[in-house]
Structure 1
Amino acid sequence: MNRITGMAVPRRLFLQAAGVGLALPLLESMTPALAKAPKESETPRRFLGICNNLGVLPEHFFPQGTGRDYEASTYLKLLERHRNDFTVFSGVSHPDVDGGHPADICFLTAAPHPSSGGFRNTISLDQYIAEQIGIKTRFPSLTLGVNTSGGLRSLSWTGSGVLIPCEEKPSAIFRAMFTQGSPAQIEAQVRKLEQGQSILDAVAGQAKDLQKSLPARDRERLDQYFGSVRDLEQRLAVGKEWERKPKPAAPGPVPTDISTPAEYMAKTRLMYDMARLAFESDSTRSVTLMLDSVNSPVLELEDHEITEGYHNLSHHGKSPAKLAQLQAIDEWHMKLLDGLFTSLKDSKEDGQPLLDRTMILYGSNLGNASTHVTTNLPTLLAGGGFRHGQHLGFDRDRNYPLPNLFVSMLQRLGLEADRFASSTGTMRGLELA
C-alpha cells in the first residue's frame, strides 16, 4: 500500500522491475559493448585479480626486512627472476571484513561483515573498472573460476550486490573470444539483444508511471533503477555492432577442458592462459579468477603425493605431514605465477612487455586458513607500470587498509577515483614506474 496516496501498488509490477534488475548482472557480464576506439596515444592498461581462498602458509610467504633490500622468503624465491616486477605487502587487510571463509566474496569488494545476517555485497573492483572502460573492448569483463561449484562462487559482483557467475570451461572462454558465428547465428544474437532492449523499455515505461505516486525514498531508488536501465540499453544498442564485428584470429586450437577437480593446478594454468589470451587480443581489460581451494578435493601434483583434501590440509594442527603437503601445494601456486609473469613479459604490445601494462593482484581473503583470520593478508601486485622490487610492510596487528591499493590501481588505469570501499587514500609507498 502506498503510504501517501493509499493506493495499492501491484506486486506483479514490482516483480517485473526486480526481475530485470536481477538480470542486469548477467547481461552486463555476458553482453558485448562497443564504444569509440581508444585514441592512438592511449596506453591500454589491464587488471587481473586472483584469489586463492585458502591462502598460503604465511611463514613461507612473507619476507624478512622491508623496502628493496628485503630477504626473499621460501615462496618468493620461486619468483626471484621477476623480483623487480612485483611488490609484496604485509600487514594489510580489508577493515571489518571478517567471518573466515565467507570473506572470499569480499576480496575485491571489501564489503564489511560478509557472514552477518542481511549482508549485501557491493561492487567489486573488476566491475567498477568494467563500468568505466569496459565499453572499449568486446567483453567488459571476464569472470573465471577453478572448482567454483559450477560457477556459484565468484569474485565479481555488480553495483547492486549481485554475483556474476564464473566461467569454468576454458573452451567456452576461447570460443567466445575467437570463434565467429555463422551469419544466421549472428543475426539471431542481434535479435536477442533487440528483444532485451524492448523488454527494458517496456518495464521502464511502467516504472515511470509508478514513480509519480511513490514516497521520496522509493523515488530515489527508482531513479537508480532508471540509471541502470539507461546504461544497459546503451550497452544493448552498441552490442549489436560488436556481434557483426569480426573476432580476432584464433591463436591455436580450442583448449581441452579438464573435468577432474583433482587436476586443480592444470586447471589453474589453463585459466592463466585464457587471461593472457584475453589481454593479448584486447578482448577485455578486466579479468577475475577465483581459485576455490575450499571446494577442491585431494589434489594431483606431479612431484608430490597429496593424501587429504585441500581444505582438510589447511587445518593442519601443525602436523608435519600436512604442513609438508601444504607447502608443496603453495609452491606449485608460485610456480604457476612465475609462468604467468614470464608469458606476459614475453608477449609484446607496441614493443613493450604486456606485463608492464597488466596489473596482477594475487592474494587471499585469509591471512591464515588454519585459524580463519582475515588479517595480515598475503598480497602481491605485479606489473602494471609501478615501481616494484620491494616489500611494503605495515603493522601486522593494526593493519593498513588494502582498499588503498585498489585506489592506486584505479588511478593507474587512468580513472578519476580517490576512494574505493573502506579506503583512506592511495597505497603508501607504491610509486609509478
Structure 2
Amino acid sequence: MKRKSWHLDRRTFIKGVGAAVLLPYMECMGMGKLSQFADAPQVPKRLCFVYFPNGVSVPGANHKKYSQWNWFPHKTGTDYEFTNSIAPLAPFKKDMTILGGLSHPNSRSVLGHIAGDTWLTGGDLRGNKYNNSISVDQLAAQKLSKHTRIPYLTLSTDGGVGYKSRASTLSFDSNGRAIPSEHRQREIFERYFSPAGGASTKERRQSLQQDKKIVDLVLEDSKSLKKRLGQNDKTKLDEYMSTLNRVEEQVKRNEKWLDVPMKEFDASRLNLSVDPVASPEDYLRSTLDLMILGFETDLTRVMTYMMAREDGLGFGDAFPKIALNLSGHHGMTHDKKTGYQERLGKYDQWLSKQFAYFLDKMKNTHDEHGSLLDNTLVLYGSCCSSTHNANNLPLILAGGKNMGLKHGSYETFDAKHIHMSNLFVSMLNTVGVNVETFADSTGALPAIFN
C-alpha cells in the first residue's frame, strides 16, 4: 500500500501506545484492524474428532420390532427422522449432517477392531505389515499450531498408545507411529491451564531451561547409543526419539509463549475429581468440558478424543454396565439373544447423549468470534458399522456454520468412488490447510461443504 502523507508510522504509533495518556487507535495509523498488528488470523478455525468403538446397532429399516434402534435414519435428505439411537441429537439437526456409506477401502477387509487404528489415517493395515500413516489431525496441526500454545490435544479414556491394532489413541505421526493420549483430567488441567502450579514467570523460565538441558542430554546420549544397537533396538529407539523430539518442540513452544498471558476463563464448571466407577457420564463430560475450555482459551485448534477402546479393552468397555445395567460393550456387540438390537441401541443412545452435551456446550460457549461450534468442525463416529464390519461407518459432522457448511440432512455416498478420506480433504481445506489429497482420497466430498 502506497504511503500517504497523513499516515503515522509504526514508531509513532508505538510511542503513543506506551504513553500514559493512552493514545487511541485512529484510521490514520493505516491498519484496518488491530489484529493485523499482531499478525494473527481474525477468526480461528478448529478441528475436533470424537470416537466411540465397536460399531452400532443396525437391525435395518425393515425390521418389524427394532427398526427404531437402527443408528442410521431410514430416509435420506433433509426430512429424515431421528431414530431412538440418536434421538438426543435432534435439537442439533440444523448444526449437523449424518453421513452414510463412507469408509476406508484398505480397512474394509480387515477385522473391524483393527480399523480403529486407521479411523483418522486411512492407513493400510492389511496382511502382516503395519503400514499406518499420519492422521488427519496431525496434518492439520502442522499448520494450525503456529497460532496456539500447544499444537494439538490427544485424549482418551485409557491414556497412552495401547498397541498396534488396538491403539488407545486416535493420533499418529508422519511415520504412522501412535502418539500417546492423555486421560487424567486434573493433570491435563494443571499441565495446560495452570502451568507450574501458578509459579512466577521467572520460575517457569528457569524450569523450562532445566527441561531443555535434560532433553538435550538424553538426545545426545541416544544418538551415541544408536550406533551400537541392533536393528530391532534401533526401531524402538527411533520411536522413543520421536516422542522425545515432540517433548523438545513443546519445551521450545512453552518458552515462546511464556510471556503471553492466557485468556481469562471460568473453571468453576469443571469437575476434576470424578469417579468413573460411580458415574461414567460425569467422567466423559469432565473431559469434554476440558476440551471446550481448550477451544475457548485458544489453547489449541486441533483435538481428538477416544471415548473408549476397541475389542473390550480398557475401562470404557464397562460404561454400559455401570451406566445402564447392561453388559460390557464389546460383549453386547456379539450378543444375538432376543432384543440385542434394543440393548445395543440404548447404549448408542447413551453415547449420543454425551455427544449432544458436547454440542450444546460448544454452541452456547462464545469467544470474541462467536459460538465455538460455528468455528469448529466436529466429527463423531466409529470405525465399524456393526462389530467387525468396517464398512458404512456411522459418522456425524457438526459445526462449521461460519465456514460455510450446509447442515440439516442425512447424506449417503457411493463407497466405490467416494472414501472417508474425501471427507478429510474437505475438512482440511475448510480450516485453511490446503491439500488436494489425503491417504486414499479420490477428491473432495461432493456435499455439505461450500
> What is the TM-score normalised by the length of structure 1?
0.77
Following TM superposition, by how much is the alpha carbon of 1:292 offset from its aligned partner in structure 2, in angstroms?
Answer: 1.7
Contact 1:262 1:298 in 2 (8 A): no
Is 2:129 the counterpart of 1:113? no
Specify the alignment match of 1:66 in structure 2. 76
Rounded Cα–Cα distance in structure 2 between residues aligned with 1:273 and 1:230 = 29
Partner amino acid, structure 2, of 1:125: V
Following TM superposition, by how much is the alpha carbon of 1:302 offset from its aligned partner in structure 2, in angstroms?
Answer: 8.4
Cα 1:90–1:169 shift into 2, 3 Å: same
Partner amino acid, structure 2, of 1:376: N
Cα 1:414–1:196 shift into 2, 3 Å: same
Following TM superposition, by how much is the alpha carbon of 1:365 offset from its aligned partner in structure 2, in angstroms?
Answer: 0.6
Matches within 5 A, 1:32-431: 39=39, 42-58=42-58, 59=60, 60-97=70-107, 98-113=110-125, 116-147=127-158, 153-181=168-196, 182-183=199-200, 184-197=203-216, 236-253=251-268, 255-260=271-276, 263-293=279-309, 294-295=312-313, 296-299=316-319, 304-306=324-326, 308-320=327-339, 322-369=340-387, 372-384=388-400, 385=403, 386-395=405-414, 398=416, 400-431=418-449
Q: Which moved more, 1:387-396 or 1:137-146?
A: 387-396
Contact 2:47 2:137 in 1 (8 A): yes
Structure 1 residue matching 2:425: 3-state secondary structure: helix
Contact 2:378 2:399 in 1 (8 A): yes
Contact 1:134 1:285 in 2 (8 A): yes
Cα 1:299–1:202 shift into 2, 3 Å: closer
Tell me, which stretches of 5 or more residues in structure 2 are unaligned? 1-35, 61-69, 228-240
Partner amino acid, structure 2, of 1:118: K
Deviations 1:101-121 (A, max 9, x none): 12111110110225x322132
Deviations 1:24-66 (A, max 9, x none): xxxxxxxxxxxx9974553201111111112221342211222
Identity of aligned residues (%): 27
Contact 1:47 1:358 in 2 (8 A): yes
Rounded Cα–Cα distance in structure 1 between residues aligned with 2:180 and 2:219 = 22
Structure 1 residue matching 2:106: 3-state secondary structure: coil
Partner amino acid, structure 2, of 1:346: N
Deviations 1:1-42 (A, max 9, x none): xxxxxxxxxxxxxxxxxxxxxxxxxxxxxxxxxxx9974553
Following TM superposition, by how much is the alpha carbon of 1:419 offset from its aligned partner in structure 2, in angstroms?
Answer: 0.7
Following TM superposition, by how much is the alpha carbon of 1:286 offset from its aligned partner in structure 2, in angstroms?
Answer: 0.5
Partner amino acid, structure 1, of 2:308: D
Partner amino acid, structure 1, of 2:125: H
Contact 2:418 2:445 in 1 (8 A): no
Deviations 1:321-343 (A, max 9, x none): x4333222111111111111111
Deviations 1:55-95 (A, max 9, x none): 22134221122222223333343211111111111111011
Partner amino acid, structure 1, of 2:135: S
Rounded Cα–Cα distance in structure 1 between residues aligned with 2:37 and 2:300 = 13
Structure 1 residue matching 2:98: 3-state secondary structure: strand
Structure 1 residue matching 2:303: 3-state secondary structure: strand
Rounded Cα–Cα distance in structure 2 between residues aligned with 1:367 and 1:165 = 26
Deviations 1:169-219 (A, max 9, x none): 111121122213224354222321254357658988999xx9xxxxxxxxx
Rounded Cα–Cα distance in structure 2 between residues aligned with 1:148 and 1:82 = 30
Following TM superposition, by how much is the alpha carbon of 1:149 offset from its aligned partner in structure 2, in angstroms?
Answer: 7.3
Rounded Cα–Cα distance in structure 2 between residues aligned with 1:173 and 1:264 = 18
Rounded Cα–Cα distance in structure 1 between residues aligned with 2:129 and 2:38 = 41
Partner amino acid, structure 2, of 1:392: E
Cα 1:88–1:259 shift into 2, 3 Å: same
Partner amino acid, structure 2, of 1:174: F
Following TM superposition, by how much is the alpha carbon of 1:229 offset from its aligned partner in structure 2, in angstroms?
Answer: 11
Partner amino acid, structure 2, of 1:112: D
Following TM superposition, by how much is the alpha carbon of 1:409 offset from its aligned partner in structure 2, in angstroms?
Answer: 0.4
Rounded Cα–Cα distance in structure 2 between residues aligned with 1:375 and 1:109 = 15
Rounded Cα–Cα distance in structure 2 between residues aligned with 1:286 and 1:94 = 22
The structure with the largest alpha-carbon Rg is: 2
Following TM superposition, by how much is the alpha carbon of 1:424 offset from its aligned partner in structure 2, in angstroms?
Answer: 0.8
Structure 2 residue matching 1:93: 3-state secondary structure: coil
Partner amino acid, structure 1, of 2:389: V
Contact 1:54 1:314 in 2 (8 A): yes
Structure 1 residue matching 2:443: 3-state secondary structure: coil
